[in-house]
Amino acid sequence: MTTPSAPISKTALWAGRIMTALPALLMAFSAVMKFLKPASVVQGFAHFGIPESHIVTLGIVELACAIIYVIPRTSVLGAILLTGYLGGATATTARVGEAFIPTVIFGVVAWGGLFLRDQRLRALIPLRQ
């Protein structure tokens, strides 16, 4: 059974698409950098105390989360997976005393974009006007 909800305006839809594209593209770029393993990525992983052998595996997980997130039918699952991945990134950066706010903002943008473009999520979390 579906619940009726207000239609999404074109402005909200396009804002949601742009907000969705930003984290998806950044995660895809980050995954590709993990596959290429430039010295800066290897050094970054060493700085965070993560073994070099995990770089490609994390790249695969990151790319999978991004792909699942951009497919409309699986976007909510993708956002949940993306949130989990970013939670790990937030904990890792906080553990070494670095700024973790960017990863939190990144997650908020991902969910905000999904909220703006997906009526299922709007029905689940209705905001009052």
What are the distances in angstroms from CA 1 to CA 4, 35, 43, 74, 123?
10, 44, 52, 19, 12
Distance, CA of 40 to CA of 105 (rounded, Å) = 23
Token reading at 4: 């009726």
pTM for the whole structure: 0.86
Residue range 16-39: average pLDDT? 96
85 within 8 A of 62, measured Cβ to Cβ: yes
Q: How many CA atoms lie within 13 A of 129 on its CB side?
A: 2
pLDDT tens digits, residue range 33-89? 999 999 999 999 999 999 999 999 999 999 999 999 999 999 999 999 999 999 999
Domain residue ranges in the chain? 11-124
What pLDDT score does 127 carry?
75
89 within 8 A of 69, measured Cβ to Cβ: no
Query: Given the structure tokens 């999520």, which residue do they identify?
Result: 121
